[in-house]
Amino acid sequence: MNDFRSDNTCPPAPAVLARLQDALAAGGSAYADDEITAQTRDSLSRIFQHEVDFFPIFTGTAANALAIAQLSGRFGEVICSDNSHIFLDECGAVEFHSQARLCPVVGRHGKILPEGLPLLVDSQDVHRSKPTVLSLSQSTETGLVYHPDEISHLAGKAKAAGMRVHMDGTRFANAVAFTGASPSDLTWRAGVDVLCLGATKGGAIGAEAVIFFSPDDARDFRRMMKRAGHLGARMWFLSAQIHAWLDGGFWLRAAQHCNAMAAMLGQLLQARGIRPLYSVESNMVFVEMTSGQSRILTDKGFRHYLIKQPDGSQAARLVTSHSTQPAEITALAFAIEECLAVSWATIEPAESRLL
Amino acid sequence: MNDFRSDNTCPPAPAVLARLQDALAAGGSAYADDEITAQTRDSLSRIFQHEVDFFPIFTGTAANALAIAQLSGRFGEVICSDNSHIFLDECGAVEFHSQARLCPVVGRHGKILPEGLPLLVDSQDVHRSKPTVLSLSQSTETGLVYHPDEISHLAGKAKAAGMRVHMDGTRFANAVAFTGASPSDLTWRAGVDVLCLGATKGGAIGAEAVIFFSPDDARDFRRMMKRAGHLGARMWFLSAQIHAWLDGGFWLRAAQHCNAMAAMLGQLLQARGIRPLYSVESNMVFVEMTSGQSRILTDKGFRHYLIKQPDGSQAARLVTSHSTQPAEITALAFAIEECLAVSWATIEPAESRLL
Amino acid sequence: MNDFRSDNTCPPAPAVLARLQDALAAGGSAYADDEITAQTRDSLSRIFQHEVDFFPIFTGTAANALAIAQLSGRFGEVICSDNSHIFLDECGAVEFHSQARLCPVVGRHGKILPEGLPLLVDSQDVHRSKPTVLSLSQSTETGLVYHPDEISHLAGKAKAAGMRVHMDGTRFANAVAFTGASPSDLTWRAGVDVLCLGATKGGAIGAEAVIFFSPDDARDFRRMMKRAGHLGARMWFLSAQIHAWLDGGFWLRAAQHCNAMAAMLGQLLQARGIRPLYSVESNMVFVEMTSGQSRILTDKGFRHYLIKQPDGSQAARLVTSHSTQPAEITALAFAIEECLAVSWATIEPAESRLL
Amino acid sequence: MNDFRSDNTCPPAPAVLARLQDALAAGGSAYADDEITAQTRDSLSRIFQHEVDFFPIFTGTAANALAIAQLSGRFGEVICSDNSHIFLDECGAVEFHSQARLCPVVGRHGKILPEGLPLLVDSQDVHRSKPTVLSLSQSTETGLVYHPDEISHLAGKAKAAGMRVHMDGTRFANAVAFTGASPSDLTWRAGVDVLCLGATKGGAIGAEAVIFFSPDDARDFRRMMKRAGHLGARMWFLSAQIHAWLDGGFWLRAAQHCNAMAAMLGQLLQARGIRPLYSVESNMVFVEMTSGQSRILTDKGFRHYLIKQPDGSQAARLVTSHSTQPAEITALAFAIEECLAVSWATIEPAESRLL
């Protein structure tokens, strides 16, 4: 069975696992007060060309929620895309941890546009909360990527209103691979204050890096993690995963591979006259499809999620991972062509959730 | 350097790691909707001789906080020992997740006594919250163990007042090993509603099992996990650790080993006229010590924490783990004897935190 | 200066104040455990032809937030109009007290339409919260009124999805006056579970009645009030205001008067070719206006708020109260006609907030 | 029936009510943006010889909870007496609004002693929260009063640890009357950052003044009030009560009267050989009593609460108010003497709650 459901449904990358062995044998001090965590911080500082503060977290939801809670004040409003993970798929985690309200804005294909931002004012109106954080997803839930100047533009507007900028980087590596821009140009140089860098979908088992670009912003963050139950004993194991994932540039090569596989799929489909819903910029391809067609695709051995899109249409989301092989892509393109030829299908879809 | 700081500062057990390889290669569906999690649930149901609902969690703090939040109502008061981990060492995690108040009671050597319980009434007094959960630590922070009849007695009083019973079982395995009682006699048969069973300190990397003995109690618990950021993609990796730890009875053998090492230390000390502060019932031995003596012990190569005790005295806490060797115990006993002979010491302690 | 800003900017009604004297001289037991509160409960039960549970609250924001928090579960989503007070003007009070998310829906002129409701499903999807409460404003922020069958229809859809129904009745009296329907037909007979009945805007000083139509729903509500700081010593004074306001049908007569004044204004404007933005159904009239025209109207002695409307236009909101006199209405209509004749105005508005 | 239950069970003071008439007829702008509120701020600034920021609140519980929430950071611990109202009688309101933990300390007769304070350290220990606020009750629940130097001493220790100081001044006026010290010496000159000054128990209907002595501390406090539902439309009515209560020094004269009545009772009892439990320093006298004796006292027409004391004994609490007359005191002393002579009484008490 070929699995294109998500980049978190494949096993972790053997290359990452192999690099974990030494750390597992050595152990480390508890509560992120260990050597590997310090080394990972150094690696990240080099990669981002900036002294960073870094905290390993087990889940992406927690990374986003805690990072936003850290930056948002008591009466926060978090501006995010109406198609963002924090708004649609985290069961209110950001609100729970931050007591802020999420304010979804409609963008274009999941990307926030400058003209789509609401009027951002540090209002004194006591009847309303204050916009405090702008949250960008890099890449977006539709697989699109923000370029450095786009981030600068959006972040600039937020900063002008006294807001802070959060980046949900669960697929940040794919954006680096696509744009060819440096990690720094895509983050702090463009105005990003905190990045939640995802290693889980890139090949680690389960580990995300919360990266603050200004040390002041990280004040008491370990306490926030502790109170939320996210500061465990063997945090070094999370750091070790991130370290192994970064080591020798694996993170970027893996993202380049994923992107290439998705691009290949996009091209094969276009060659067959099938136009993906969105520009293929990271590791996801969306193909409009009926429930019945989706069912047929699953029956042919290609697992995927059928997801309702912002414009109301329905699409199969096909996600590539570090383990995707070209032969799978060829077979998938062929299978999609076949199932789209079936127009009468009325069968129920097999799996229709996203992540 | 011999490490007796905690049973979470040693590396995970090689036997557990070895059993993880297959799972790591196979992967699994995301969000705890996977095979290994189902199998682990079955294993736990067998071990506890009762159909259980089971949820893997990355940290013990989160396991306790979420389990208590699940059982506690809107106006909860949680009765716990004044020497409990949830009261002293979790930075308000239980309060944060549950909105309940912790009501610490003074016990004897960290154990709650029936006569120490406050009057438990499901009061209608609108000016006060209601006692909703009794939380017991098995074993306690002092290394003592509750016997089944003690649990029954305490739980019975709680149940009579309409309360629920939570057990912080971060070292539950050690209590099973010490009492020889069955896991079921130590839990649901004695009135425990939810057990947070710790595998982390028993040899896993980082994994705790939240076990509900009544399926109704688990309603919406996955949502609670999600909102707290504790439902990650590769939850199967946590389940796999618990499964590997339980497999073939490793969990109990490891606990028996730890206990035996601690008992051996206790006996060697007593033979030298040094009386541990508390009865040695699990894997911890407490020896009263000045800061200077503690420093000398560290200098001799035996890491440990110096911890203020409920009675105000100061003690070195010596914790054994699955990896502790008899030769280390012999050497440790000898070193303790030597450093206690130094009475004039005024040097600063090396490490003074507990866990 | 004639004040048409809001029905809470006028002084309280002398008739209500007069009826308070006896209560003020007599006093009463603390914390709503008093005679007047019990009598007010009886009065409300008679008016609503149903045994009700009643709690006096000092502010409308608190009444709404606590009532919704009471009905909403742990993972609530509250469906409300995108033009509702709880969404726009309470600084996140509902979210703070309930931990629920507000889900605004676009209606027609501020009224929720059945076809505008999202798909209401008691989803098991762990990544999302559950729709738990439908909140209706009666009358709406645009001054429109729901008829009994409209409420039944909307509430029926909510009930079918396992949801509860809250009514923000800050101007409920005006809706009774407009529809001629009985209070019971507008509430519990149509599926409303809790009504926040506002007396403040109807002539009391500051007092709202939270009315539960099923006693089970009120369980622990006084505790919820207490914890929120809304159970004060002399709650009898709030109850006394509500009692005085209800007494002898003052509440309905005052609402009829307000409505009549607003209707008169609407008719005078229409006679001058000025069409109010919305149908005049309660005590508010909205007239589209530039900032400069608004400023002129203020300068002529008619205070009002200039409010951005859901459709993006800008309108002067003119609110009548128990103290509004016909002569004021005549003068106001004349002044509006004059200032609308000024088209070149570019001056800043005087007061631009809503309530 | 003579009512000595509490100073909030008597009717409000006629002198205060009389002064409210003008305000009630005039009305004012909504949401505390009114003239009377500004005037009251000026009055308070004069009385406290310091520019203050002032916010009227309907209940004492809300005043305390919001004021502490305002000063406490994200990981707060609030040091308070184990016999304080915020710990015993507010149903977790402080914790709810502030997310802080209350840390009760045992004092002497309800007063916190410097030697009773825990070690106050702005710890970096991530496993614990930080002590952020010291809360003092003036006067205490036992009727005792802190003198300026006592406050300075306690506040000094708190300030040295980076903490802020809150004063629950529900009976602050009585403390001014007893000590003869100036309001400023009892507050900001001694290190108090925020005072919750109670007018409710001093003769107003229901109004408390939250007074910040440093304007920075009040930032966003109105938003905090709004979100909690404590910013109502006619806040001017609360301010008017406080203004009327302060006007012409009524507040102090009334407190002097209450204190004198309590002192008279204490002296009459002592003359009969009955020793009050605590020094009589404000408007409360505690007399040790059995449930049966308490019942007899009630039957004789003297209402009161029978309250369990910190030392475990049981006492009748007798509270005087602005309306207490000397003849009542004489009769009460006589009645107490009589009922204490009955030693065999086994009857149930009539009313046994405190406030």
CATH number of the domain to which B80 belongs: 3.40.640.10
Average pLDDT of the segment spanning D164-179: 98
Residue C66: list chain D partners with CB under 8 A.
229
pTM of the entire predicted model: 0.95
Asked whether residue A355 is assigned to any structural domain, the reply reads no
Of A327, A326, A302, A307, the residue nearest A317 (C-alpha) = A307
Asked whether residue C18 is assigned to any structural domain, the reply reads yes
Residue D291 has, within 13 A of its CA and on its CB side, a CA count of 9
D212 and D90 in a single domain? The answer is yes
B108 and B207 in a single domain? The answer is yes
Asked whether residue D352 is assigned to any structural domain, the reply reads no
pLDDT, residue A345, reads 45
Query: What does each C-alpha distance from D51 to A184, D172, D246 come to in angstroms?
Result: 48, 19, 17
What residue ranges of chain B have pLDDT lower than 50? Answer: 345, 354-355
Neighbour subunits, B (≥3 Cβ pairs < 8 A): A, C, D
User: Is ipTM beyond 0.90?
Assistant: yes
Query: What does each C-alpha distance from C123 to B199, C101, C126, C127, C191 come to in angstroms?
Result: 33, 15, 8, 10, 22
Counted domains in chain D: 2
Contact A29 B9 (CB under 8 A): yes
C-beta separation of B128 from D165 below 8 A: no
Contact D128 B89 (CB under 8 A): yes
Average pLDDT of the segment spanning A302-315: 92
Q: Work out the mean pLDDT of chain C and round it to a whole number.
A: 94
pLDDT, residue B62, reads 98
Q: Is the pLDDT of residue C350 over 80?
A: no
**Which amino acid belongs to residue D289?**
M
Average pLDDT of the segment spanning D41-54: 98
**Band of residue C355 on the pLDDT scale cut at 50, 70, 90:** very low
C23 and C104 in a single domain? The answer is yes
Query: Nearest chain A Cα to D233, which residue?
Result: A127
More confident residue, A40 or D1: A40
Instruction: Report the CATH number that the domain containing residue D267 is assigned in CATH.
Output: 3.90.1150.10
pLDDT, residue B345, reads 45
CA distance D202 to D7: 7
C187 and C278 in a single domain? The answer is no
Average pLDDT of the segment spanning C222-246: 97
Q: Work out the mean pLDDT of chain D and round it to a whole number.
A: 94
Query: Residue D259: which residues within 8 A CB-CB, separation 6 or more?
Result: D174, D177, D178, D281, D282, D283, D320
- Paired with A318 in beta bridges are A285
Residue D97: list chain C partners with CB under 8 A.
229
A139 and A282 in a single domain? The answer is no
Query: What does each C-alpha distance from D206 to B337, C224, C242, D12, D136 come to in angstroms?
Result: 67, 19, 16, 9, 22
Of C78, C64, C142, C138, the residue nearest C110 (C-alpha) = C142
Contact A234 B206 (CB under 8 A): yes
**Band of residue D120 on the pLDDT scale cut at 50, 70, 90:** confident
Contact B62 A9 (CB under 8 A): no
Minimal Cα–Cα distance from C278 to chain A, Å? 24
Contact A59 B233 (CB under 8 A): yes
Asked whether residue A136 is assigned to any structural domain, the reply reads yes
D170 and D59 in a single domain? The answer is yes
D113 and D237 in a single domain? The answer is yes
* Structural domain span for residue B142: 14-249
Contact C101 A102 (CB under 8 A): yes
B195 and B117 in a single domain? The answer is yes
For every residue of D286-355, DSSP letters joined together read EEE--HHHHHHHHHTTEE-EEEE-TTS-EEEEEE--TT--HHHHHHHHHHHHHHHT-----PPPS-----
pLDDT, residue C345, reads 45
Asked whether residue A347 is assigned to any structural domain, the reply reads no
Of A233, A156, A243, the residue nearest A199 (C-alpha) = A243
In this complex, which of A91, A102, A128 lies closest to C128 when CB atoms are compared? A91
Average pLDDT of the segment spanning C127-150: 96
Of D194, B71, D83, D86, the residue nearest C226 (C-alpha) = D86
Contact B91 D99 (CB under 8 A): no
C-beta separation of B295 from B186 below 8 A: no
pLDDT, residue A112, reads 96
From A333-342, B119-128, D87-96, the region with the lowest mean pLDDT = B119-128
D196 and D276 in a single domain? The answer is no
Peptide bond into C291 cis (omega under 30): no
Q: Which of A225, A249, A273 finishes a domain?
A: A249
pLDDT, residue A355, reads 40
Q: Determine which of C126, C221, C222, C230 to mutate to test the interface with B (most B C-beta atoms within 10 Å).
A: C126
Contact C96 D228 (CB under 8 A): yes
Asked whether residue B212 is assigned to any structural domain, the reply reads yes
pLDDT, residue A226, reads 97
Q: Give B134's DSSP letter.
A: E
pLDDT, residue C310, reads 83
Query: Residue D87: which residues within 8 A CB-CB, separation 6 or more?
Result: D80, D81, D102, D104
pLDDT, residue B186, reads 98
C76 and C213 in a single domain? The answer is yes
Asked whether residue A352 is assigned to any structural domain, the reply reads no
pLDDT, residue A354, reads 41
A205 and A190 in a single domain? The answer is yes
Q: Work out the mean pLDDT of chain A and round it to a whole number.
A: 94
B64 and B207 in a single domain? The answer is yes
Asked whether residue D355 is assigned to any structural domain, the reply reads no
The pLDDT tens digits for C205-222 are 999 999 999 999 999 999
Q: Per the structure block, which two tokens stand in for B223? A: 């949502």
Average pLDDT of the segment spanning C94-104: 96
CA distance A104 to D277: 61
Query: What does each C-alpha distance from A75 to A100, A126, D180 come to in angstroms?
Result: 6, 10, 42
In this complex, which of C74, C126, C226 lies closest to B127 when CB atoms are compared? C226
In this complex, which of A126, A220, A226 lies closest to D226 when CB atoms are compared? A126
Minimal Cα–Cα distance from A130 to chain C, Å? 9
pLDDT, residue C354, reads 41
Q: Which of A214, A249, A284 finishes a domain?
A: A249
Query: Nearest chain C Cα to D201, which residue?
Result: C233
**Which amino acid belongs to residue B65?**
A
Contact C92 A75 (CB under 8 A): yes
Contact B92 D127 (CB under 8 A): no
Minimal Cα–Cα distance from A214 to chain C, Å? 29
Of D175, D207, D185, D203, the residue nearest D283 (C-alpha) = D175
Minimal Cα–Cα distance from D299 to chain C, Å? 18
The pLDDT tens digits for D176-218 are 999 999 999 999 999 999 999 999 999 999 999 999 999 999 9
Q: What share of chain B is helix, strand, coil (3-state, %, to 5)?
A: 40, 15, 40
Average pLDDT of the segment spanning C252-271: 98
Average pLDDT of the segment spanning C43-70: 98
pLDDT, residue D352, reads 57
Query: Nearest chain B Cα to A15, which residue?
Result: B25
Q: Is the pLDDT of residue D110 over 80?
A: yes
Q: Which of D197, D228, D248 finishes a domain?
A: D248
CA distance C218 to C53: 7
pLDDT, residue B120, reads 80
Q: Give B312's DSSP letter.
A: S
